[in-house]
Structure formats: structure tokens, C-alpha cells
Structure 1
Amino acid sequence: MKIISEPQELKAYLKEQNKTIGYVPTMGALHEGHIELIKNARKENELVVVSIFVNPTQFLKGEDLDKYPRRDEADKKICELAGVDVIFFPTKENIYFEDEVKIEAPEVRGYVLEGATRPGHFSGVLRIVMKLLNIVNPTRAYFGKKDAQQLNLIQLMVRHYYMDVEIVPINTVREADGLARSSRNIYLTSEQRKEALKISASLYAASKMISKKEFDVQTIKEEMLKILEPLEIGYVEIVNREFKPINDVEVGNTIILVEAVAGTTRLLDNIWL
């Protein structure tokens, strides 16, 4: 397994390989969700690249950039065991430039849901993903469905900028109790974790209602909000897969999303129907 920090060195090395490349961008603190992405990349490509970079441009003032979990040595071992060929470990200094050209999130879809409470967050996400995709130039790049809005915006960017990469969505990996895997779960106390389980419980309840032919969005949301009490709720929304509001669930074209805070930890989860 090679470890490379310089973008130009990585570009040159990958170009020499002349192989299909599966790419998994991460911010480190790897868990089973990341491993699932790597497994899919390993299965579908000749070469697997994982990047580890805690991207400062997607954190807003006062967010947890400084305390975001970093476990570089453990992450290297996980990558080695998972069959990764190359880890890309860039630094802020060799990724960003002074007064650089920037990409911006779309004015509507980038500023609703998570973008409404974190204005500019998705511009930072798209900025780093554009850079990383151009450096790695992968055949396929793998992203989790848990960050559904992020995934949608990356797919839009690839389409709108005619980028030659296949974006592969991978299902959310959950812990045994149903909590969606997240690097931020380590912040939760045992009591906060119990409260956080209301998030997945609300999604399961919505799914059950829909299986019983309840398609009215407002009715489903009201039931979810009851289950989520007393969590601090960022949003509970039901949208189609283009992130446009709907009045009735359309099976095969619907995402139900929750953002809630347990203790001081902001958690995201969703189901795709």
C-alpha cells in the first residue's frame, strides 16, 4: 500500500498504472460505513484509492473542525486490511491556493435542509470534491447515501460540469441498534445514544406507515416528530430524489430525511423509498 501526500505525485503515479480506479474520499476516523465503500470499490475496480483529509472549507465558524476525530495510524491499518492500494493524505497547504477559483453550490438546492442552517457548507464540500476528483481522476467514486443531500449535489456537479466519473451511491451502514454509522457517534454518551436511536426509529415508523399505504407527507411527518421528541430537530423532510418538496410519497422516488441533535452532536439519517 502506497501513501502519497503530494497531488502531482499522485496524479503521475495513477496515470502510470493505466488501470480502472475506484475512489473513496473520506475525512478519516474510518468505520464500517467507509469499509463498505472500500469493499465496493475493490470489487468493481483494478485499483483502489482512499483519501483522508479533514476539509476546512466545509466547516462553518464555531463548528467542530478542531475536535473532529483524527485517527491516522488506525485509518492506515484499516485501509491496509481492506485492500486499499493507495492512501492520499494531502495537507491544507498542498490542496488550497491563495485567491483561488471556487465552485459554488446551487442557489436553491445548496441552501435548503442542511444548507439552510449551514450556509456555505455545500460550497466547501463541492470545492474539495471537485479538486479530489480532478487529482485522482477515478473511473468510479463511492459515496454513502447517509449524506443524501451531499450525494445529490455531487451528482449534479458531475453532470453539470461534464466530468468523466461514475458516482456510485452505497447504502447506509447501521450499528446493531439501528444507529447510522458516523464518525461523530463517538461524541455520544450512553444516554445521548439512547436518545439518538429515536432518529432511526422515526424513519422505521415512516416506512411502516408507507407500507400500509399512508402516503400523505404531512401525516407521516407529524408521526415522526412525535417519536423524535425531545430531541432538538434541525429538520424532518420528505422530498423526491431531486430534492424537491412533495405532498405524497411516491415509492421509488422519495427520500425521508432527518437532522437532529443528541447532546451537542448533530446527526443525519434518511431512508430511500
Structure 2
Amino acid sequence: MMIVNTIEEVRNLIKGWRKEGLSVGFVPTMGALHEGHQSLMERAVSQNDRVVASIFVNPTQFGPNEDFEAYPRDLEKDVALCKEVGVHVVFAPQGEELYFPDKATTVHISGITDVLCGSKRPGHFDGVCLVVSKFFNIIQPDRAYFGQKDAQQVAVIKRMVRDLNYEIEIVSCPIVREADGLAKSSRNLYLSKEEREAALVLNKSLEFVKKALDQGERNASILKAAILSCIIQEPLAKIDYVEVVEMESLQSISGDINCPILIPIAVYIGKTRLIDNITYAV
């Protein structure tokens, strides 16, 4: 496995692979890798001749009061996991390698970025789309892998790929959970022991509503109310949003459900904002 830090290095490697007719998979990450990232890399390794994983804490997707400086970083540990999984190249650029000081270009996807996390974190998805589009232009992968835990991000990237005619297959991979159901997240590291226990309310509320769906409940407002009533029982939890939306458009549903749905939630446990979701095909 190689570790490269410059655009020129990674492009030269990929040009060599292309001359050999090899397929390329790409896994973009912000580091602090866990089993969720591992599952993406394993999937990529199984489906491609060569795999590039990027490790870059992207400043443009953090708001002014968010945790860019505090975001966990452990490059040595991350590189070891990439090597163990079978990744061929880790691309770990510094900020100045990707962003010019006088950068003036943005990538904005309207509509589906204005709801859910997008409505709570203005500019977040502009930053995500900008850095992902840069990586796509640099690496030009056949496939790129994203986790379903960030369901809105997956929908946004798919729309960007469609609208900008990228010839890239976006592969969405299932949420990886701890044994007790908590979705794997780099931000779980911020939780105290008490907060870690309180965080289980996210998955518990989603499991509760999935059971209701399995039993035939189809009214979105009733399902949403059930999740809210479950979460508010946890004193350390502060609800950011709970929604029932159409799978692709992310448009909110309030009445009867007659299409595949996404139920995304965002909850503060103490000062840490966690997200989770389930999908359901009606």
C-alpha cells in the first residue's frame, strides 16, 4: 500500500492502472476510521482491481461554530486499517493541496440540501459537494462508496453525479452498528460513559417505529409522533429533527405512506450531534 499527499502523485498512479485496464474504487473519508469505514473499504476491495481511500478533514463542510479543530485525527491508526483491509493507495492531502487561497468556485445542489441536516447546517452540503467533486475529478473512479448512515449525503451525491454527468457508480453501503445498536460514528468518541448509554435512544426509537411499520402502520404523522415520544424520555437527548420523507426526493410526508421512505433523525446527546435512520419499502 502507498501513501500519497499530492494530486500529481495519485493521478500518475491511476494513469498507470488505467493503462493496464484496471478498475478503480474510491472511498472518501475524514479519517477517525471505524468499522463503518472498514465495511466501505472491504466492499470496494471486493468490487475493484484497485482502491483509493482519501483521508482529509474537509474544512469547507464545517460551520463557524462546529468541531473542525476538535474533529478526531489519527492518521497512523487510519493508515494501518486501510492496509489491513487491502486498500492500495491512501490519498492524504493537506488543505493547501486541494484549496487555493483565493478559491471562488462552489458546487450547490438545490432542493434536497435545503432540508434535514442541510436546513440545520447552512453551507454544509456545498462543502461536501465541492470536496467530493474535486476528488472525483482527481481520481476518476469507476465506483465510489458512501455509508447509508449519512443518507442525505448519499442522496445529494447521487444527484450531483446525475446532474454533472459523472461516469461514476455511487454505491451506498448499510449502516454498521455496535453490538447494542448504536450506529458507528467518529463522533461517538466525544460521548461520556453516561452519554454513550443515553445515545442508544436513537436506535431504540427507530426499532420501535420499524416494528409499527411491520405491523401495518402507514400514517407518517403517527410514526413521527411515536419516535418523538420515545426520544423525549431520555433526559440527555435534545431533538434536532425527526422526519418521514420520500426516499429519493427527501420531501416530507405527513399523511399516508405509499412509496419507499427514509426516516432520518438527528439528536444531540449532551453537546454531541448524532444522526441515524432507517429505510422502508412500502
Alignment TM-score, normalising by the size of structure 2: 0.94
Distance, in Å, in 2 between the alignment partners of 1:94 and 1:125 is 17
Distance, in Å, in 1 between the alignment partners of 2:194 and 2:73 is 24
Report the 3-state secondary structure (helix = DSSP H, G, I; strand = E; otherwise coil) of the residue aligned with 2:199: helix
Stretches of structure 2 lacking an aligned partner (at least 5 in a row): none
Structure 1 residues 127-136 or 98-107, which shifts more? 98-107
Report the 3-state secondary structure (helix = DSSP H, G, I; strand = E; otherwise coil) of the residue aligned with 1:127: helix
1:51 matched residue in structure 2: 54
For 1:82-137, what per-residue CA distance to the aligned partner results, in whole angstroms no more than 9, with x for missing partners?
Answer: 00100000110010013334233333221211111110010000000000111111
Q: Quick check: 1:100 aligned with 2:83?
A: no
> How do 1:24-39 residues align onto structure 2 when only pairs under 5 Å count?
24-39=27-42
2:240 matched residue in structure 1: 234
Distance, in Å, in 1 between the alignment partners of 2:7 and 2:170 is 21
Identity score, percent: 44
Q: Runs of 4 or more off by more than 4 Å in structure 1?
A: none
Report the 3-state secondary structure (helix = DSSP H, G, I; strand = E; otherwise coil) of the residue aligned with 1:267: strand
Q: What code does the residue aligned with 2:135 have?
A: L
Q: Quick check: 1:248 aligned with 2:248?
A: no
Q: What code does the residue aligned with 2:10 have?
A: L
Preserved CA contact (<8 Å) 2:29 2:56: yes
Report the 3-state secondary structure (helix = DSSP H, G, I; strand = E; otherwise coil) of the residue aligned with 1:223: helix
Aligned residues between the structures? 272
2:264 matched residue in structure 1: 257
Q: Quick check: 1:4 aligned with 2:8?
A: no
Q: Quick check: 1:188 aligned with 2:191?
A: yes
> How do 1:130-209 residues align onto structure 2 when only pairs under 5 Å count?
130-209=133-212
Stretches of structure 1 lacking an aligned partner (at least 5 in a row): none
1:214 matched residue in structure 2: 217
Distance, in Å, in 2 between the alignment partners of 1:84 and 1:102 is 31
2:45 matched residue in structure 1: 42
For 1:189-219, what per-residue CA distance to the aligned partner results, in whole angstroms no more than 9, with x for missing partners?
Answer: 1111111110001100110000011010110
| Cα root mean square deviation, aligned | 1.0
Report the 3-state secondary structure (helix = DSSP H, G, I; strand = E; otherwise coil) of the residue aligned with 2:113: helix
> How do 1:78-97 residues align onto structure 2 when only pairs under 5 Å count?
78-97=81-100
Structure 1 residues 178-187 or 227-236, which shifts more? 227-236
Distance, in Å, in 2 between the alignment partners of 1:14 and 1:80 is 18
